[in-house]
Chain A
Amino acid sequence: MSPYILFVMLTSLGLGTTLTFTSSHWLLAWMGLEINTLAIIPLMTNKHHPRAVEAATKYFLTQAAAAAILLFASIYNAWYSGQWFIQDMSSPVSTLMTLAIAIKLGIAPMHFWLPEVMQGISINTGLILVTWQKLAPLALLMQISHNIKPELLIILGLMSTIIGGWGGLNQTQIRKIMAYSSIAHLGWIISILHFMPALAMVNLFIYLIMTITMFMTFNLLNSPTINTLAVNWSKSPILAATSALALLSLGGLPPLSGFMPKWLIIQELTNQELAPTATLLALSALLSLFFYLRLSYSLSLTIMPNTHPQTLNWNMKITTPLPLSLMMMMTLTMLPITPTIISLF
């Protein structure tokens, strides 16, 4: 892609999310979301093959439909309450707005586009899709969170964690597994959104760190399926070892930092007298943990014999070691500083 076009697209991605963050008018927030949708389409079709075009088409159609529903909900709110202020959305259409944002985020039962889109695009564009594109809709959701019926958010959250866990069990492609992991983590985020939005932001923060770690790892290891993960022990032993731990952090095991949001959310839900919800969430996290364990099993818990005729790359050159090492450290070791993390939000 021409560097000028790439620059314009990446700048527009930043502009769109920033517009949605800083706006208090529904129309400007909608415009930011549309800029994000438009700007990522050429990034998705960067590798010109039909699978990428299919993924870009599916992404565009679902996001455009969600943006249309969002615009309709905001216009209804303007007609009903006479003002366009985002945080004063107390009209009966907050449910529709929540569902529109849920389509944009890939929350079950509107999650069907996410694994197929993730499979068709490159792993770096998948990283942008799963991290940056989630920020703007979640910002809107957090601003209207006190007006949404809590039952809706709990139901969406439970369905997302259960479907994210169950859906990922039968996958062998890494990008689809990461898509289902995104669905499950987003379920945790929105289940606590009505009661304590700060905890949702803590969960989002930790989830972003863990996901960026895993995507960068899979980008370096260049393995699209679980089978090809098995030869990575000889490519980079340190990466195989630490990414096994990072996968367990994604699964939410103590003493890794992925345990922090799950612990705090379960505590808050129990304080809000929603102990069965917390139990169901924790049990559905076991499903996700199973496929993370399967990945770490192929990656580092077993040593596959290499007899294929290929020069073994025993000294893998990592040209920019800082981002991955920083994210890996944060994924593995941030649990003891939980009070600091909470005080940030």
Chain B
Amino acid sequence: MVMMVVFSVMFLISLIAVASNPSPYFAALGLMIGAGVGCGMLTQFGMTFLSMILFLIYLGGMLVVFAYSAALAAEPYPSAWGSLEVFSYVVGSLMLVVVMWMLLVNDFGAFDEIEGCVMSVRRYVGVSEMYNAGGYMLLVAGWVLLVALLVVLELTRGFGRGCLRAV
């Protein structure tokens, strides 16, 4: 129960970090923390497999790609929480949260129903079938991903060796 409150507060902070328009690096940091604690919240509800998949794909896949492409468009003076306009966004978001809380939140009953960890793995036992009966298809899928990587590598080789000269 305490963990849920902690996770929810950290989720809120990370959302404010994203919504306060800092430089993309800090927004990505906010997204990382938000996704991390979101996975924690999912685990509290018993959906451990879903949280693992979310971590892997969202953080390990999409966010890494975003980080690389943001690093390509680097700026020398990124605007963080120290600058005035970002700070005003933070203050505005906090005030919005407080106003909505006082208007809409009537009871705290949702937090009382979570007692410890409830592991419900029965729903996800079918996923292991994908590795068992469909194992060769996963092998081909892995080969497809490797070919996609090599295709992108070949298309974007730099300095005139590839056909796209963006880098």
Contact = CB atoms under 8 A, between A and B. Distances in A.
A328 B140 CA distance: 38
Contacts of A214: none
B38 to A, nearest CB: 29
A38 B144 contact: yes
A38 B152 CA distance: 9
A22 B32 CA distance: 43
B155 interface: yes
Contacts of A1: 154
A35 B151 contact: no
Contacts of B150: 5, 8-9, 42
A52 B164 CA distance: 11
A31 interface: yes
B163 to A, nearest CB: 4
A324 interface: no
Given A28-B137, A28-B140, A31-B144, A48 B154 contact: no
Contacts of B151: 9, 38-39, 41-42
A41 B150 CA distance: 11
Given A27-B137, A52-B163, A45 B148 contact: no
A48 B160 CA distance: 8
Nearest to B154: A42
A12 B148 CA distance: 11
Contacts of A41: 151, 155
Contacts of B141: 31
**Range of interface residues on A (Cβ < 8 Å):** 20 to 34
B74 interface: no
B147 interface: yes
A1 B151 CA distance: 11
Nearest to A6: B154
A328 B43 CA distance: 68
Contacts of B148: 38
A5 B154 CA distance: 8
Nearest to B141: A31
Interface in A1-60: 1-2, 5, 8-9, 12, 15, 19, 27-28, 31, 34-35, 38-39, 41-42, 45, 48-49, 52-53, 56
B111 interface: no
B92 interface: no
Contact of B147 (A35, A48, A49, A53): A35
A39 B154 contact: no
B66 to A, nearest CB: 22
Nearest to A32: B140
B155 to A, nearest CB: 6
B163 A48 contact: yes
A41 B149 CA distance: 12
B147 A38 contact: yes
B143 interface: yes
Nearest to B140: A31
A53 B164 contact: yes
A15 B143 contact: yes
Interface of A: 1-2, 5, 8-9, 12, 15, 19, 27-28, 31, 34-35, 38-39, 41-42, 45, 48-49, 52-53, 56
Given A9-B150, A34-B144, 18 more contacts: A1-B154, A8-B147, A8-B150, A9-B154, A15-B143, A19-B140, A28-B137, A31-B141, A35-B140, A35-B143, A35-B147, A38-B151, A39-B147, A41-B151, A42-B151, A48-B160, A52-B163, A53-B164
* Across the A-B interface, the 5 shortest Cβ-Cβ residue pairs: A42-B154, A45-B163, A48-B163, A12-B147, A53-B163
